[in-house]
Copies of this chain bind each other. A is one copy, B any other.
Amino acid sequence: MARIKDVAKEANVSIATVSRVINNIPLVNEDTRLKVLAAIEKTGYRPNAVARSLKLQKSNTIGIIINDITRPIMTNAIRGIQEELSKNGYSAIISYTKGEKNAENEALDMFFLRQCDGIILIGTNIDEKTVSVINENKLPVISCLVIHDDKTLPGVGFDEFESSRIVTEYLIENGHSDIGAFMGNSPFHFVPPRIRGFFDVMRKKDLRLNENWIIRNSMTFNGGYECADQLLRLPRNFLPTAIFCFNDDMAVGAIKCFHEHGIKVPDDISVISINGSDFANWNMISITSLKFDSYSCGKRCAEIMYDMVTTGEIPPSVEYIPVHIEEGSTVKNIKK
């Protein structure tokens, strides 16, 4: 690989001049500029990013911590981040941590060693200690998709509480009053506000909260399946008319279980979910769900991160992205 020195020799100038040409510093004669350009072309020279990083104390690299890389919502966010970063000449170093503290710390350590200029957390559940570690190293951080409840961390995501309210109200608008919920039991930041949102609407509308209809389990396909299974132990005439699932996976699992028990969705029971990724539609029936654009969310995160690393300023707290209900065929209007 040709070095700057080789170019200088080729062009009969000093390395300083070559450097000026490369970095578009205007104080250089047009003739010599062209000469240098030709030499660069001839030698096939490409500046060494590592050396540049060392000198500039800046790696143009952003560390990404993600704990579940397999969900479409996450990967779309990564996609948005990476595309936006690369526009500005930044690269993404990715680390999959499964939410394990240990792996998280190793990842952070690695990011510091590699002189990352900032850190993006995707859908992660990082605690205050970890955040303070990052802050000690004076690195900008931003959380993508998950907004920390205390808003202590800058982030781009959606308003969990409000979204949960929207979903619940949507069911009510469709004539439902006997509403159950399959809630996540994971210790994620976003679970509590979703729970509060649901309860908030139910109480304000004076609707009965039946504790048999509120079931917690893991936010997975199997979790949803088990919730439905548990619900179906109730006598058939004691079932709710609609179920609010905390995510797609649960909804799909629940629907499968209902189907196996001969309960028809949405004729016998309606189902709605949050987080509608594309595969909410990749089903024999499309799931009605609250959707948002996680690609844009990632993109916006990367934009803010770019601002942070270039200006050195921390933006004020939190940004919300819009959400909307995308109607599938799993919610029946039972208004008479």
Contact = CB atoms under 8 A, between A and B. Distances in A.
Interface in A233-290: 249, 252-253, 255-256, 259, 278-279, 281-285
Interface stretch (A104-112, A163-171, A304-312, A314-322): A104-112
A43 interface: no
Interface stretch (A24-32, A34-42, A68-76, A119-127): A68-76
Contacts of A76: 70
A221 B252 CA distance: 17
Contacts of A255: 284
A114 B51 CA distance: 9
A47 B110 CA distance: 11
Interface stretch (A10-18, A77-85, A210-218): A77-85
Nearest to A253: B282
A284 B79 CA distance: 29
Contacts of A112: 1, 46
Contacts of A53: 50
Contact of A50 (B59, B109, B279, B283): B59
B282 A221 contact: yes
A78 B69 contact: yes
Contact of A79 (B79, B96, B281): B96
A164 to B, nearest CB: 23
B96 A93 contact: no
Nearest to A248: B282
A145 to B, nearest CB: 15
Given A48-B115, A59-B50, A94 B82 contact: yes
How many copies of this chain are found per oligomer? Answer: 2
Interface in A56-104: 59, 61, 69-70, 72, 75-76, 78-79, 82-83, 86, 91-96
A82 B61 CA distance: 17
A70 B59 contact: no
Contact of A47 (B69, B79, B113): B113
Contacts of A207: none
Contacts of A94: 78, 82, 92-94
A69 B75 contact: yes
B106 A86 contact: yes
Given A113-B49, A284-B283, A92 B91 contact: no
Given A48-B115, A49-B114, A59-B50, A282 B279 contact: yes
User: Would you list the 4 A-B pairs with minimal beta carbon distance, nearest first?
Assistant: A49-B113, A259-B284, A49-B114, A50-B53
18 contacts: A1-B137, A46-B109, A47-B113, A48-B54, A48-B115, A49-B113, A49-B115, A50-B54, A54-B54, A70-B75, A70-B76, A70-B278, A78-B94, A91-B93, A91-B95, A92-B93, A253-B282, A279-B282
